[in-house]
A and B are shown apart, each in its own frame.
Chain A
Amino acid sequence: MEQDKPNRECLLDKTPQATLGKPLSRSEGLAKVTGTAPYAAEYPIADCLEGVLVTAPFARGTIDSIDKDTCLAMEGVVAVIDDERLTSRPAQGTAGEAPVQKPRQIDYFGQPFALVVAETFEQARHAAKHLEFTFTADDLSQVSFDPEGTESERQEETRQGDLAHAMAEAKHAVDARITTAGHASAAMEPHAAIAEWDGSNLTVHASLQMLNYNISEIADSLGMEEDNIRLISRYVGGGFGSKLGISQECLAASLAAMTLEKPVRVVLSRQQVFQNIMRRSETTQRLRLAAGADGALNGFGHEGLVSNLPKESFAEPILQSSQFLYSGENRLLGLDVARVHRMTAGSVRAPGEAVGMPALEVAMDMLAEETGVDPVELRLRNIPDAHPVEGTPFSSHKLAECLKQAADSFGWEAGPRKPRQRREGEWWIGTGMASAARVHNISKAKARVTLKPDGTALVETDMTDIGTGTYTILGQLAGEMLGLPREKVLVELGDTRFPRGSGSGGSWGASSVGSAVYVACQGLRRELASRAGVNEDDVSLKDGRIANGPSLVDLLDGKDLSEEGFYEPGDIDDDFVAAGFGAYFAQVRVNRFTGETRVDRMTGAFGFGRVLNQKTARSQCQGGMVWSIGVALTEALHFDPQDGHLVNCDLAEYHVPVNRDVPELDVIMVEERDPAASPIQAKGIGELGMCGGAAAIANAIYNASGARVMDFPMTPDRVLAAMP
């Protein structure tokens, strides 16, 4: 089905099974907590060889020669693979084609160019470390590392009216320069692949988010047909964007297996994950807000500079939600990209809003102070009725409700605010808030649903569950549509033998593939109705029977009944702006002597359409809020300005939040149905939790201590320096 208009009458509000939305525990839970769920590197495959990648110790130049013979003479070494088809960069999300493949041409420090294969991991690691090669490194003075000092190109621009004039005439104006550091996804499972080759067919157990695109990327990289490739990713140990496209280990394992005709496993070391996999670009942003006495915006400017490698099309889309979040007649939004030789920049959880929204929301806090309007009230006053430039209506808009509900739950004291009002011992204490917004994405997807003669159902799609709850929610959806309790629905994912799903990324998985399951079940319901001789609209399914009618087992009469559902977003995109909205409130304490910040408590309210499972949805929101803490306080990639290498390429030096950094998190899921977002009226949720949350913490730091830090993360040194 193609969606061209809103689905206002959704069957899911009428079905009697009442399993959808319930806070059920994950169906794969026991496998995960007992260590029996197999991740990519963990399939027991006999006589599997081990491969370790060799990486370049310089940022730009060429590998001239590799001394294979000496390496092959080392204990256990079987091969040195330096095939021209090795990929040198990861594929961008939804690329569906080969990424850059020139392994010997080095574009960033730590780029892999060869794979050493040995009988054991220890042998391969040792030999890879001692592989001899010659190279020509470009003169460092000719290589750009710093986006600020490099020429940039404008990637996109929106202009309306005259922002400069509005700023000059405004009663209140804020002109702020805010920077955010680069980030790493740092999924806990390192990128891994085991490849097997039987002479004509390639099977790869990999840790990937979007098998439907990844299979094309592998096929294109190898010059093979997709029909001869099978990808399996039943469990993925976190993705956060880093596993959207294939990365270097996939092709390395595949080429080694094809060359040696033996299975080969390649697992990136944690350092290699940091050095090779997508980073989130650092950003420098300029926010300009022009307002009248009441805080109503008349001018809105958001410009930014981000970076990427030459030839990469991706540019951290920091303006996405700024396009429509707040009103303002006179607008200027622009994004510039500088070409630098750091590893590929790409999607890291909530690309764009993760860093664009915090900058905007700090500027809004400054405007609140400037105008003397309460920060919550300021946002409420600036919610537009429609897209401020295009005039398109919103499909559904929950920002106001989220702001009010979260403020209430948090105990926000409305009114003009002053910093440095509360102190306990060494600690300044304060509160802050911010809005959340994330564009809604959706994609075409397929899923097959089969009713089995015993009255159970099977859902199959190559969609993945990366911790998002896909296994569970698809079971609940099919159960709701077919009148079956969740435990009667088996969900099989992560195998390209199944129909192509949407993949997990851009928060679109649940609404896209969920809609495919919905469509498949509609087909099954039609068939069941006709078999039972009842009108399709009257059919009511519960606990394995048609109400006042036959059981599914009887209707199936010993045979499978199967339906493939296909969902495709139509041109409804042009008619509505669809987005998830929310609000965050935080209380922090800031140490007056050290500048250390601790988050005491945090509340988030989010509107993301239909809630498919209250338990897993809440966890997604919490996860996003934890990332907000990381963006606000600790996470930053640090590059050496001399030779461009990533200095903090491990989990000891790249600081993700730990348990003690995270307080109790209060999550409010605001009831919403968004008929234009998807047939099941659901939107994305995996990213919304971190689209602005860092600003609630930043604004609380200011309210607590008077330190208005303009650079994320707000590490103690920066807070201390900014304290009055």
Chain B
Amino acid sequence: MPITINDTPHELPDDPRVSLLDFLRHHAGLTGTKKGCDHGQCGACTVLVNGMRINSCLSLAVMHDGDSVTTIEGLGTPDAPSALQKAFVEHDGYQCGYCTPGQICSATAMMQEIANGWPSDASDDLEGPIKPSADEIRERMSGNLCRCGAYANIVAAIAEVAAEDAQ
């Protein structure tokens, strides 16, 4: 079975050394996913695999036979941006923009994790529903570095969308 990226099937690479990140950027031509460290330390390469967020640099492409991958390009386009993409623009949740696709992919999956009731270090208790408080967002987004220091605005953008979703 091939790998599906943003609903389009692709053949897996012959070279088993190709990371999922390099496969997306070099083979599939989807350069929206960024390489910041190639070692799972920055989150710039975050994509969704079957709906869950992963660091695509820490995964080999050939391990994703049959998987469905969503990248930033699959979340929205300049003509039809997602609610989070719009909120990042409105709240200036970025500066240079290099960490941004990773932040937005990460936030997309993170909101689902909160909805699923998965607790984090910032949660009051391990059971029961979790509110997307600023502290929950900060904790859960701490795997995505932003050297420009847009954190406060990133939290504001995510909080706004989370609040809209809750309505």
Q: Mark A645-660, 1 if CB is under 8 A from B, else 0.
A: 0000011100011111
Question: Given contacts A190-B35, A659-B138, are A121 and B78 in contact (CB under 8 A)?
Answer: no
Chain A nearest CB from B158 CB (Å) reads 10
State whether the Cβ of B119 lies closer than 8 Å to any Cβ in chain A.
Answer: no
State whether the Cβ of B11 lies closer than 8 Å to any Cβ in chain A.
Answer: no
- Contact yes or no, B36 A467, CB < 8 A: no
- Contact yes or no, B89 A650, CB < 8 A: no
CA distance A40 to B37 in the complex (A): 16
CA distance A154 to B152 in the complex (A): 42
CA distance A665 to B156 in the complex (A): 11
- Contact yes or no, A35 B71, CB < 8 A: yes
- Contact yes or no, B152 A30, CB < 8 A: no
Q: Could you say which of A25, A29, A188, A239 contacts B36, with CB atoms under 8 Å apart?
A: A188
Question: Hey, which chain A residues are within 8 Å of B81, CB to CB?
Answer: 30, 33-34
- Contact yes or no, A467 B15, CB < 8 A: no
- B150: nearest chain-A partner, CB-CB: A619
Question: Hey, which chain A residues are within 8 Å of B44, CB to CB?
Answer: 188
- Contact yes or no, A656 B145, CB < 8 A: yes
Question: Given contacts A25-B90, A619-B92, are A188 and B149 in contact (CB under 8 A)?
Answer: no
Chain A nearest CB from B132 CB (Å) reads 14
Q: Mark B111-145, 1 if CB is under 8 A from A, else 0.
A: 00000000000100000000000110111011111
CA distance A440 to B132 in the complex (A): 42
State whether the Cβ of B69 lies closer than 8 Å to any Cβ in chain A.
Answer: no
Question: Hey, which chain B residues are within 8 Å of A618, CB to CB?
Answer: 92
Question: Given contacts A34-B78, A35-B33, A42-B25, are A619 and B96 in contact (CB under 8 A)?
Answer: no
- A37: nearest chain-B partner, CB-CB: B97
List CB contacts (< 8 Å) of B5-43 with chain A.
15, 17-18, 22, 25-26, 29-39, 41-42
CA distance A7 to B17 in the complex (A): 61
CA distance A620 to B122 in the complex (A): 28
- B96: nearest chain-A partner, CB-CB: A467
- Contact yes or no, B72 A35, CB < 8 A: yes
State whether the Cβ of A237 lies closer than 8 Å to any Cβ in chain B.
Answer: yes
- Contact yes or no, A33 B96, CB < 8 A: no
- Contact yes or no, A659 B77, CB < 8 A: no
- Contact yes or no, B134 A664, CB < 8 A: yes
- Contact yes or no, A122 B101, CB < 8 A: no
6 tightest Cβ-Cβ pairs between the two chains A and B: A35-B32, A626-B149, A237-B98, A467-B96, A32-B97, A467-B95
Residue positions of B touching A, CB distance < 8 A: 15, 17-18, 22, 25-26, 29-39, 41-42, 44, 71-73, 75-78, 81, 85-86, 88-90, 92, 94-101, 104, 122, 134-135, 137-139, 141-155
Contacts A34-B76, A122-B18, A235-B96 supplied; 9 other A-B pairs, CB < 8 Å: A28-B97, A44-B29, A187-B147, A188-B34, A188-B36, A189-B96, A238-B95, A240-B147, A467-B95
5 A-B contacts (beta carbon < 8 Å): A39-B98, A120-B26, A619-B148, A660-B141, A662-B149
Residue positions of A touching B, CB distance < 8 A: 25-26, 28-39, 41-42, 44, 120-122, 126, 185-190, 235-240, 267, 269-270, 466-469, 615-616, 618-620, 622-627, 650-652, 656-665
